[in-house]
């Protein structure tokens, strides 16, 4: 905490009965728990829950809304797969299956796992027997999707062994709907993923394919129509891996299990320019110079960076007659928590390690960026639940210039809290959720927000109508819920969490004068919002005094409160569950007696 008079020469310091005024013009430096509250510099805060920092302002965070329907299996990753022709397909991978999003009906639908047919005749509402062209590949208990005439997909299971040209389904065709002749019937992909291994996804534009691995099933490829196992995998196809990547025009697999034998330090690659020739007797290397497992990989310039549990390697293409690749261990003693804990910014990575959050540029040192929140998150009494660090996931939000790390706190088994880093200023804040989270994704909005479709009230809608956030192709973030089994859209517009008001809490640092008690008299706040409770503590947070509840509205205006208190220091707390914004604070005070011995 900064001494209120530390910059003033002694002759300029107020006398014991002279009032002074302290102005704090910026409050956006974020959480800092690296030092005692009385030693923090101006602008830092002790608590910033559900807060964002933007243009020098402290603001309540955005909310989220539901996106499409409940899905089957814990959702782990959604990914917008862009094809060479400029079109895109939004995909969703759960622990149990794979979906594509059909925008026309706003629905997650099964693509085929390679087994599909079409309806031979119509099946009307209430019907449970599908007359299809072929039953080949369909079995009792299979999950299937039946195309309805309105474009929706009826998702059900097969009830009994298919016979002749008939498939009996468990759930009847919905009321008012029809599955017409020629409509598709597809078998859903079966996955056996777990909550503790993230999904690894990559794409190869040359083949218009998306590849993914979940560490439990054979790695898959999606061509925009069907999902299939990657062809000609090592060990006669009996290969599982945790990581997939495209680097130097080659498909790379890492942390493999081959014919039931685990190779957690293994890197495999295809021949150049193909995705189905692994030359398995030659094209691999086990990184055995350290025993820790490979957990993540990301491209960085001319390197493919390989993160292990306690070390980091660079994979560099040499192309020599006797050596194709150079593997260099650049960092020893620290690694990433998992694949999803790494953020790729293009020219550098940000990742959550075992003891901090770091910036890494591919060289031989790490730059810690999380020192201010080390005690809150990583210390012996920190919030991070060490049992479930494999469930941490992170994302860079380009539109906000923020890195987000979702983490399980305390006894939580799944992330319900999020660390937010304003990358340009290294300001930290915390986001708290009322749902359990299991993954993330990105999506470009496919339609404008109009007067009719905007949610909430006109007074609460603070985004300009010309903002890109309301236009077609506006980027949005998806957060995936493990307990709700659905996707939520974080669109930087919504003001509530799926209809629930967002509770915020912002606490400043302490302000003080050494060895003296202070008399505080007047308090000024440049604010906006509704029903904002303002409190002050004059004993470093042991108790709080209410200064007032204010409702400045949707525009910033000065709020002035008069109340006298005597204390050794002052810190301020702002809380509520409606709109909130804060630009600066000021207060009038004078020195009282020396502290008692």
pLDDT tens across 292-344, in order? 999 999 999 999 999 999 999 999 999 887 788 999 999 999 999 999 999 99
Return the pLDDT at 293. Answer: 98
Check if the beta carbon of residue 363 is closer than 8 Å to that of residue 313. Answer: no
In this predicted model, what pLDDT tens digit does every residue of 200-239 receive, in sequence order? 999 999 999 999 999 999 999 999 999 999 999 999 999 9
Q: Please say if the pLDDT value at position 363 is more than 90.
A: yes
Q: Which two tokens stand for residue 117?
A: 């047919």
Per-residue pLDDT band at 451 (split at 50, 70, 90):
very low
Question: CA-CA distances (angstroms) from residue 46 to 161, 218, 352, 429, 506?
Answer: 63, 47, 22, 10, 8
Q: 590: alpha, beta or left, given left = phi > 0 and alpha = psi -120 to 50?
A: beta
Quote the CA–CA distance of 310 and 312 in Å, as a whole number. 7
So what's the pLDDT on residue 10? 52
Give pTM, 2 decimals: 0.92
Contact 271, 228 (CB under 8 A): no
Mean pLDDT of the chain: 92
CATH class of 10-50+503-594: mainly beta
Instruction: Give the residue-averaged pLDDT of 545-561.
Output: 97
DSSP H or E run through 348 = none
Q: 150: left (phi > 0), else alpha (psi -120 to 50), else beta?
A: alpha
Q: HSE-up of 220 (CA within 13 Å, CB side)?
A: 25
pLDDT in tens, 104-151: 999 999 999 999 999 999 999 999 999 999 999 999 999 999 999 999
Domain ranges of the chain: 10-50+503-594
| Confidence band of 31 (pLDDT split at 50, 70, 90) | very high
What single string gives the DSSP state of each residue in 356-410?
Answer: SEEEE-SSS--EE--GGGHHHHTSTT-SB-GGGGGG-EEEEETTTTEEEEEE-BT
Model confidence over 486-503: pLDDT tens digits? 999 998 889 999 999 999
What whole-number percentage of the chain has pLDDT above 90? 87
At residue 456, the pLDDT reads 47
269-289: b (≥16 Cβ within 10 Å) or e: bbeeebbeebebeebbeebee
Buried b (16+ CB within 10 A) or exposed e, 571-595: bbbbbbbbbbbbbbbbbbbbbbeee
Q: Kindly tell me the number of DSSP H helices and DSSP E strands found in the chain.
A: 1, 49
**Predicted pLDDT at 487:** 97
Six-digit token pair at 66? 């539901």
| C-alpha triplet 263, 246, 87: angle, nearest 5° | 135
The 3-state secondary structure of 451-469, one letter per residue: CCCCCCCCCCCCCCCCCHH
> What residues have CB less than 8 Å from 377, skipping those under 6 apart?
370, 383, 384, 407, 419
């Amino acid at each position: 905490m900064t001494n209120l008079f530390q910059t003033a020469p002694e002759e300029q310091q107020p006398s014991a009965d002279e009032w002074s005024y302290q102005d704090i013009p910026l409050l956006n430096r974020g959480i800092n728990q690296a030092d005692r509250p009385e030693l923090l510099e101006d602008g830092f805060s002790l608590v910033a829950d559900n807060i964002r920092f933007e243009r020098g302002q402290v603001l309540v965070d955005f909310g989220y809304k539901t996106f499409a329907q409940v899905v089957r299996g814990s959702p782990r990753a959604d990914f917008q797969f862009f094809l060479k022709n400029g079109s895109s397909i939004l995909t969703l991978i759960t622990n149990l299956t794979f979906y594509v999003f059909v925008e026309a009906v706003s629905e997650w639908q099964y693509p085929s796992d390679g087994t599909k047919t079409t309806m031979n005749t119509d099946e009307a509402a209430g019907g449970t027997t599908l007359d299809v062209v072929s039953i080949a590949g369909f079995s009792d208990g299979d999950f299937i999707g039946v195309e309805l005439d309105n474009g929706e997909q009826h998702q059900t299971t097969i009830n009994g062994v298919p016979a002749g040209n008939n498939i009996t389904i468990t759930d009847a065709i919905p009321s008012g709907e029809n599955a017409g002749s020629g409509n598709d019937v597809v078998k859903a992909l079966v996955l056996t993923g777990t909550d503790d291994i993230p999904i690894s996804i990559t794409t190869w534009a040359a083949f218009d394919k998306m590849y993914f691995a979940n560490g439990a099933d054979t790695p898959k490829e999606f061509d925009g129509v069907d999902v299939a196992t990657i062809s000609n995998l090592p060990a006669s196809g009996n290969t599982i891996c945790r990581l997939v990547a495209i680097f130097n025009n080659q498909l790379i697999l890492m942390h493999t299990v081959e014919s039931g034998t685990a190779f957690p330090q293994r890197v495999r690659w295809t021949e150049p320019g193909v995705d189905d020739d692994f030359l398995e007797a030659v094209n691999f290397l086990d990184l055995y110079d350290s025993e820790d497992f490979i957990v993540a990989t990301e491209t960085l310039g001319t390197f493919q960076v390989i993160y292990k549990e306690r070390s980091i390697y660079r994979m560099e293409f040499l192309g020599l007659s006797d050596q194709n690749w150079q593997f260099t261990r650049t960092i020893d003693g620290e690694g990433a928590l998992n694949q999803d804990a790494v953020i790729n910014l293009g020219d550098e990575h940000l990742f959550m390690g075992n003891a901090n959050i770091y910036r890494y540029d591919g060289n031989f040192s790490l730059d810690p960026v999380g020192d201010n929140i080390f005690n809150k998150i990583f210390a012996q009494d920190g919030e991070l639940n060490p049992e479930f660090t494999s469930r941490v996931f992170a994302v860079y939000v380009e539109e906000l210039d923020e890195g987000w790390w979702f983490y399980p706190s305390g006894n939580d088994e799944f992330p319900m809290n999020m660390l937010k880093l304003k990358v340009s200023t290294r300001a930290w804040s915390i986001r708290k959720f009322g749902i359990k989270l299991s993954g993330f994704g990105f999506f470009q909005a496919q339609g404008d927000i109009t007067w009719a479709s905007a949610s909430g009230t006109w007074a609460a809608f603070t985004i300009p109508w010309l903002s890109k956030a309301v236009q077609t192709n506006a980027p949005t973030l998806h957060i995936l819920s493990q307990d709700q089994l659905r996707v939520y859209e974080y669109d930087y517009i919504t003001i509530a969490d799926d209809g629930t008001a967002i509770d915020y809490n912002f606490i400043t640092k302490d302000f003080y004068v050494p060895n003296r008690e202070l008399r505080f008299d007047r308090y000024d706040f440049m604010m906006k919002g509704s029903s904002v409770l303002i409190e002050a503590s004059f004993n470093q947070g042991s108790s709080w005094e209410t200064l007032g509840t204010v409702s400045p509205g949707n525009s910033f205006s000065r709020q002035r409160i008069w109340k006298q208190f005597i204390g050794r220091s002052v810190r301020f707390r702002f809380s509520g569950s409606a709109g909130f914004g804060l630009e600066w604070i000021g207060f009038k005070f004078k020195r009282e007696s020396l502290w008692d011995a």
